Structure 1
Amino acid sequence: MNLELRQLRYFVAVAEELHFGKAADRLHMTQPPLSQAIHALEDMLGTPLFVRNRRAVTLAPAGGALLPEARRMLAQAAEIPRLVSRAASGESGRLSLAFVSSADYSVLPPFLRNYRAAFPQVQIVLQEATSDVQVDDLLRERIDAGLIIPPLPEKALPILDYLKVLDEPLILAAPVGLDALGIPGPVWLKDLPRLPLIIFPRPIAPALHDAILAVFRAAGITPEVGQEAIQMQTIVSLVSAGMGLALVPQSVSNLMRPGVEYRALHDPTPLVETGLAWRRDNTSPVLQGFLDLLRKNILTC
């Protein structure tokens, strides 16, 4: 069966007018070809769509069943140019975005709000993952973009692009009670109790891992690594349980846990960078719209 939209338009016009002459005028055509088209449609479907007599035209049961479906199909067909236009301009489609856990407490929530407001028709698929996993997913084209902690590995440099989104200092996350030890406000690492260090495994972010240990070395301290965890919320939970202390990006202080206090450090600390990585050969309009808005957000911050 080769049903055409033109036939459905003819059918709907006659069904709504219940008069072949008026339907022909509405369609800007003469009545004979309209009648022929309706007869051809009925022959194709194998059943009458209209009951005709000298006085009136009425819908047959099959015509009554077809009318709402014909209207729906015509409405969907009318929507196709706009749908294609939205997809071509990045206003609709699907965006797969991964993020490191620290981004969930800093840049991710406000930017998602702005992006959702600007592109409400885009389906956003979010996935929390460490930087190393994200780079692998980008190389294998499993995600469109990822908020990572740099640097990119050498193997990714010819394939991925990168945009810095945020710089923030490291701060201390420690079990509550520093005030009781007479340590108000910002602290020196050398003045803290010798608690185990809670840190993430080096392979997931080697540069940041090494930078954290360098802060301790500069303070003349060789920390004992007590626990390793790959998510910031897990690290903070271990601190709240009294398992040790941690150095975390400043934005993680937005993650409130009973039994944890955050303090600035007197010790010099490096800035922790977060940025967006994506494949430079990804020409998706949805991704391009995402990148354009991200760049505007960075410029206005």
Structure 2
Amino acid sequence: MSRWHEIDLLQLKYAIALYEQQGLTKTAEYLNIDKAFLTRKITSLEKRLQFKIFKTKKTPLKLTDAGKEFLNIARQILNQFEQTIELCQQLNRAEKEHINIGINISIANSILPEIIRKFHAQFPAAEIMLYEMPSYEQIEKLRHQEIDVGFFHRHNLENTQRNNDVFDSKIIFKEKLVIVLPLKHRFAKQTHISLKTLANEQFILPPEHLLHSLREQINSLCKESGFQPKVKQEAAWISTILSLVAGGMGISLLPANVENLQRNGVVYRDIQEQSPILEIVAVWRKDNESILLQSFLQEIENV
């Protein structure tokens, strides 16, 4: 009974090399192994095959009929094995070389550039795909595995009705709300402003259907100061809100990251009363085993 299951790939490599190099001494030098070791490996291979590969070990080496067929198949096996390994490595690299990230304005205007810079330095070949979208859309895309990680306010995740056990998360940073005023507003020279003094102002705010949790916190904060904000206009994009404020259309309350935008025509002022703290979290699926994702999350820890 043949013991083919005891044959390893190196023995196939040695047998092919011996025939191509035509001699034990030359083959041993080519493979950088001991001649006696090579002899034992070839003898062991023929014993396990239960047929001779070589008619004689003397040069010129000649193959038996069975040996000729065996070496042809052995070459195919090694080539196929090498191609399979290469293909699997390519698939593995492909899996690692792209990461889909959902972002919101807060992370984009704050620490995201530093995270991306550090991550790119570690993985220069990785393709980073950024998608700016509302939190509810990020959550759905995480559920359907369309993005690897999302960045948004923590309360948006807590306020979802569906089961969130599939997610893991970590707090990335915290920020407060600030008052955004036109440059020539009567309160522009004050460093801290009481919300109570803004009761009669016209507000430019994000729409509730897109940024519900942010609007909820703004409304709650104003309510604590005794009024509901008079919303003159809504705008989905923070840049649009800043343009409207700069144009004198009204004032706004926005997350403090907007100060990084350095928009001409507006000033940012602190709220005199205690401002709610907005927690920005990174959220990902617990079952996402991507090595690239884990490396990305590690870079977040380092920022």
CA RMSD of aligned residues (A): 3.8
In 1, the alpha carbon distance for the partners of 2:154 and 2:270 equals 23
Structure 2 residue identity aligned to 1:214: S
The one-letter code of the counterpart of 1:198 is I
Q: 2:172 aligns with which of 165, 168, 176?
A: 165
1:147 aligns with 2:151: yes
Q: TM-score under structure 2 normalisation?
A: 0.68
* Letter paired with 1:283: E
Give the TM-score taking structure 1 as reference length.
Answer: 0.68
Q: Is the 8 A contact 2:187 2:193 kept in 1?
A: no
Residue by residue over 1:169-224, the C-alpha shift from the partner in whole angstroms, topping out at 9 and shown as x without a partner, is: 1101111113x557421111233483321222223343321111112112222211
Among all aligned residue pairs of Structure 1 and Structure 2, give the percentage whose two residues are the same amino acid: 29
- Decide whether aligned partners of structure 1 residues 118 and 218 sit closer, same or farther in structure 2, where only a CA change above 3 A counts: same
- Secondary structure at the aligned position of 2:126 is classed as strand
Question: What is the DSSP-based 3-state SS (H/G/I as helix, E as strand, rest coil) of the residue aligned with 1:121?
Answer: coil
- Aligned residue among 191, 197, 202 for 1:196: 202
Change (3 A) 1:221 1:209: same
Q: After TM superposition, where is structure 1 displaced by more than 6 Å over at least 4 residues in a row?
A: 27-31, 76-81
Shift of the 167–182 alpha-carbon distance from structure 1 to 2, 3 Å rule, reads closer
Amino acid at match of 1:211: Q
Q: Which runs of 5 or more structure 2 residues have no equivalent in the other structure?
A: 1-11, 39-56, 73-81
Q: 1:234, 1:268 → 2: CA distance?
A: 27
Partner residue in 2 for 1:274: 280
Question: SS of 1:212's equivalent?
Answer: helix
Whole-angstrom CA distance in 2 between matches of 1:272 and 1:113 = 24
Q: What is aligned with 1:116? A: 120
The 2-side partners of 1:207 and 1:220 are apart by 20
Which residue, out of 127, 132, 140, partners 1:128? 132
List runs of 5+ in structure 1 lacking aligned partners. Answer: 1-5, 41-73
Asked if 2 retains the 8 angstrom alpha-carbon contact of 1:139 and 1:156, the reply is: no
Q: 1:161 to 1:230 in 2, by over 3 A?
A: farther
Match in the other structure for 1:292: 298
Q: Distance in 1 between matches of 2:101 and 2:188?
A: 45
State whether residues 149 and 205 of structure 1, in contact with CA within 8 Å, keep that contact through their aligned partners in structure 2.
no
Q: Residue 44 of structure 1 aligns with which residue?
A: none
**Retained in 2: the 8 A contact 1:198–1:235?**
yes
Go from structure 1 to structure 2 and tell me whether the alpha carbon gap of 1:119 and 1:224 turns closer, same or farther (over 3 Å shift). Answer: same
Q: Which amino acid aligns with 1:127?
A: Y
Paired AA for residue 201 in structure 2: L
**In structure 2, C-alpha distance between the alignment counterparts of 1:33 and 1:198, rounded to whole Å:** 89
